[in-house]
Structure 1
Amino acid sequence: MTLWDGVLPFYPQPRHAAGLSVPLLIVILVFLVLAASFLLILPGIRGHSRWFWLVRVLLSLFIGAEIVAAHFSAEWSVGSVSTKTSYKAFSVERVRAHVGLHVGLEGVNITLTGTPVQQLNETIDYNEQFVWRVGQNYAGAYAEALEKGLPYPVLYLAEKFTPSSPCGVYRQYRLAGHYASATLWVAFCFWLLSNMLLSMPVPHYGGLALLITGAFALFSVFAFASISSVPLCQLRLGSSELTTHYGAAFWITLATGVLCLLLGAAVLSLHYARPSALRLFLEGSVKDLESPAKGSSPLVLSNPLHKQFRASDLTISTNL
């Protein structure tokens, strides 16, 4: 199927940009609620342990939120260009617009925003998603876009990722996204396991789980980076060329993987070099809550109904 098959020269109704995807919004909302709940109980923690738990919990929540959010993000490979280009099929009318291409693990997201938004008596503000996850038909979604008569820049970019495109990048991007997604979910499972193990008297296993979490996060980055050897076709819109580069999700996932490796290595190093320091770091704050404050008198419990024994009250005699 070519770009113009089935396209009629009619004026489509634009769809406004949808913003973040619903799964991504849910993930952000859940982790924000967890962080807010912890901050509400933070004033009830006394002493220096308050800052210990603040750093520990927020850092752990950041790692978990980033792993899940990166899975649904479309910012793994991004590119944008402002140009003057054709707007509709079989039309000489041209518009000035900002075109964005966002490639994620499950598909591509294409944005088209007019500069200004109101041109040709229309509102030019599009955000179209084409998914290649398992069970979804990318070619079918592209065919529907042709029938709707979406603007030329959207159809032009979407056509480059179709299975029948001469670019031949569909299979590479789909496989890279599939393996990157799978390794991210494994990393998330080991992140949950590390939190449980670090709360138990087996911190070295928690350190190992953190190392594995970081390793699988890096595996996902390397899996997606494997498509770098596949050159993307030239994307020319009007007189401008759109080029892509790694996006925020790629770099943040890479940083998260390195962070997990460093934290896991630190836990294991302390376990083998100074286990007492590791116990103090992980458990000392809890003991601080249970121990009395410095300078306070010890608590003595006594029952007034019973006479307290003294050394002079006890007499032992023996008759021979």
Structure 2
Amino acid sequence: MAALGHTFPFYTDPKPTFPMDTALAVIITIFLTALVTFFIILPGIRGKTRLFWLLRVVTSLFIGAVILAVNFSSEWSVGQVSTNTTYKAFSPEWVSVDVGLQIGLGGVNITLTGTPVQQLNETINYNEEFKWHLGEDYAEEYAKALEKGLPDPVLYLAEKFTPRSPCGLYNQYRLAGHYASAMLWVAFLCWLLTNVMLSMPVLVYGGHMLLATGIFQLLALFFFSMATSLTTPCPVRFGTAVLRTHHGPAFWITLTTGLLCMLLGLVMAVAHRMQPHRVKTFFNQSAEDPVLEWSPEEGGLLSPRYRSMAESLEPQDIPLSVASYDACFKEEHSKELDCAL
């Protein structure tokens, strides 16, 4: 540093950042591609069935995209503050900045933007991510940030989430993210099963799986809220300003989608009991499809009960071959002769 003539730590130019998280971009691209493909084949569907298909496909893709997107989102808990604070270590110069914090299920994202961006002959525009899931070591990433020489506000905020910090935010949010992410993956599997069952003549079970999809999303919110509320909030001060966090867009959109899934699942269950023919029409299934009758005495759902000949409403004529007819005729004729003798 001294050889280069710099008194204070040297900060490289901020790395270029993508406008949004790459994982979210991939998820949105996949589901949009599926939606566009459906719109291409939509004109080939005739009548009212076209509207039914549109509602079903759009709703299903929306639910699946939300479940995957919020699992990788970093906006479950967010906070932002505008303040005047120091920028470099061992420097008395202050800058006017906006400090943002986004907490996700797998890590935190810290943003630092100058107001204005150009201050102290530098561009103050940082977006740094620190992860703690999938084998990532948060302490190691924080050590690399120290070696890189990130600005003081970023390092100060990242230090609050280290495992050795007295705030205890690391264990708090890491456990919350672990259980919430597990519930969301189960919800995604239930969503897949829902689509499979709704394409088969087992619509009532598809409604049950849709209801389970909403329940697991609400369980993810429950675990995240419970884990984050067990400890007292740790004050994060930047000069005279205090950074406070609140539930972010990912939390509220998960809540909305979970309630929507539960509502649709209950509606399907009630409609299947009250108007089963209309439900089959909505899902483009014939109302005259044969249905097996299940008998609890014969094994429940594992053993189908078939109607016997006596229970059949219509008489059934069983054709006989010529040889069988002749044999029966001779047998009856011999019985009549025996009786006559």
Q: Under a length normalisation based on structure 2, what TM-score does the superposition of the two structures give?
A: 0.79
Partners of 1:153 and 1:222 in 2: CA distance:
31
Q: 1:33/1:263 Cα in 2 relative to 1: closer, same or farther (>3 Å)?
A: same
Aligned length: 280
CA deviation after TM superposition for structure 1 residue 285, in Å: 9.4
CA distance in structure 1 between the aligned counterparts of 2:266 and 2:164, rounded to whole angstroms: 47
1:244 & 1:62 partners in 2: Cα distance? 28
SS in 1 for 2:84: strand
Secondary structure (helix, strand or coil) at the match of 2:142 reads helix
Amino acid at match of 1:81: V
* Aligned mates of 1:29, 1:12 — CA distance in 2: 35
Q: How does 1:247-262 map to 2 (within 5 A)?
A: 247-262=248-263
| Structure 2 match to 1:10 | 9
Match of 1:169 in 2: 169
Post-superposition offset of 1:74: 0.4
Change (3 A) 1:94 1:154: same
CA distance in structure 2 between the aligned counterparts of 1:286 and 1:174, rounded to whole angstroms: 50
Question: Map of 1:1-320 to 2, 5 A cutoff?
Answer: 9-13=8-12, 14-226=14-226, 227-283=228-284
CA 10–272 in structure 1, closer or farther in 2 if over 3 Å, else same: same
Larger Rg: 2
Q: Which deviations, in whole Å up to 9, do the C-alpha atoms of 1:101-128 show, x marking residues without a partner?
A: 0000000000011111111111111000
Contact kept in structure 2, 1:105 and 1:174, CA below 8 Å: yes
Per-residue deviation, 1:284: 5.9
The residue type equivalent to 1:243 in the other structure is R
Task: Give, in whole Å, the separation in 2 of the partners of 1:17 and 1:65.
Answer: 24
State the Cα deviation string for residues 26-72 of structure 1 (Å, max 9, x = none): 10110011111111111222222222111110110000000000011
CA contact (8 A) 1:112 1:154 kept: yes
What amino acid sits opposite 2:256 in the alignment? A
Distance 2:110 2:287 in 1: 50
2-side partners of 1:286 and 1:253: how far apart? Answer: 35
Offset of residue 232 of structure 1? 2.5
- Conservation of the 8 A alpha-carbon contact between 1:16 and 1:125: no
Cα distance change, pair 138–258 in 1 and its aligned pair in 2 (3 A): same
Are 1:197 and 1:206, in contact at CA under 8 Å, matched by a contact in 2? yes
Secondary structure of the corresponding residue to residue 125 of structure 1: strand
Distance in 2 between residues matched to 1:239 and 1:286, nearest whole Å: 69
Whether the 8 Å CA contact 1:17–1:111 is kept in 2: the answer is: no
What residue in structure 2 maps to residue 316 of structure 1?
none
What CA distance in whole angstroms lies between the structure 2 residues aligned with 1:112 and 1:198? 47
Match of 1:19, SS?
coil
What RMSD over aligned residues (CA atoms) do the two structures have, in Å? 1.7
Shift of 1:90: 1.1
| Whole-Å separation in 1 of the counterparts to 2:99 and 2:268 | 46
Distance 1:135 1:113 in 2: 30
Letter in 2 for 1:186: V
| Structure 1: stretches of 5+ with no match in the other structure | 1-7, 288-320
Percent of aligned pairs sharing the same letter: 58
C-alpha distance in structure 2 between counterparts of 1:240 and 1:54, whole Å: 49
Would the aligned equivalents of 1:17 and 1:125 in 2 still touch at CA under 8 Å?
no
The more displaced of 46-55 and 88-97 is 46-55
| Whole-angstrom distance in 2 between the partners of 1:265 and 1:97 | 49
